[in-house]
Amino acid sequence: MLKIGDKAPNFTLNDKDGNTVSLSDFLGKKVVLYFYPKDNTPGCTRQACAFASAYGEFARRGVEVIGISRDSIASHVKFAEKYSLPFVLLSDPEREAIEAYGVWQEKKLYGKLSFGVVRTTFIIDDQGNIEAVMPKVKPDTNAAQILEMLG
């Protein structure tokens, strides 16, 4: 797992509109980069909606919010439309960013072991360095927790 002070790995992925988006596009701005398991699941929906509700405050502070999962572009389109998500959602089916950020991990669910995305949020400063790492965040409080950290 990456740690505070590390250079945030760059990536280039497609957003819900099919545009390519690179982390380096956001140099000069602070970025909240959050990885989540799956569109339209209860926890991921609560987390996305919490970010959507707080999005005006993030924007006012000049902070970009980017969500990444393995879901397809089509899935992201439906998810964003259904919940009016105003921020960038990136599709990472090949796990390029997911692996680079170390969030593809063994998980235990109902006693079964499997691999998947562990819900993790990174705050990246305007120079592209990791300012905070928040592993296993709570979907309902993640956005508020970040706003509090940003001061």
User: Tens digit of pLDDT for each residue in 41-67?
Assistant: 999 999 999 999 999 999 999 999 999
* Residue 2: partners with Cβ closer than 8 Å, 6 or more residues away: 8, 9, 101, 102, 122, 130, 133
Domain hosting residue 127, numbered range: 28-150
Let me know if residue 107 belongs to a domain: yes
Let me know if residue 69 belongs to a domain: yes
Q: What is the pLDDT of residue 129?
A: 98
Give the residue numbers marked as catalytic.
44
What is the rounded CA–CA span in Å between residue 52 and residue 58? 10
Let me know if residue 43 belongs to a domain: yes
Q: What is the pLDDT of residue 112?
A: 87
Domain tally for the chain? 1
Q: What is the pLDDT of residue 1?
A: 75
Let me know if residue 95 belongs to a domain: yes
Q: What is the pLDDT of residues 87-143, one digit of tens each?
A: 999 999 999 999 999 999 998 878 888 899 999 999 999 999 999 999 989 999 999
Residue 87 vs residues 31, 54, 113: alpha-carbon distances, Å = 11, 11, 32
CATH code of 124's domain: 3.40.30.10
Q: What is the pLDDT of residues 1-16, one digit of tens each?
A: 799 999 999 999 999 9
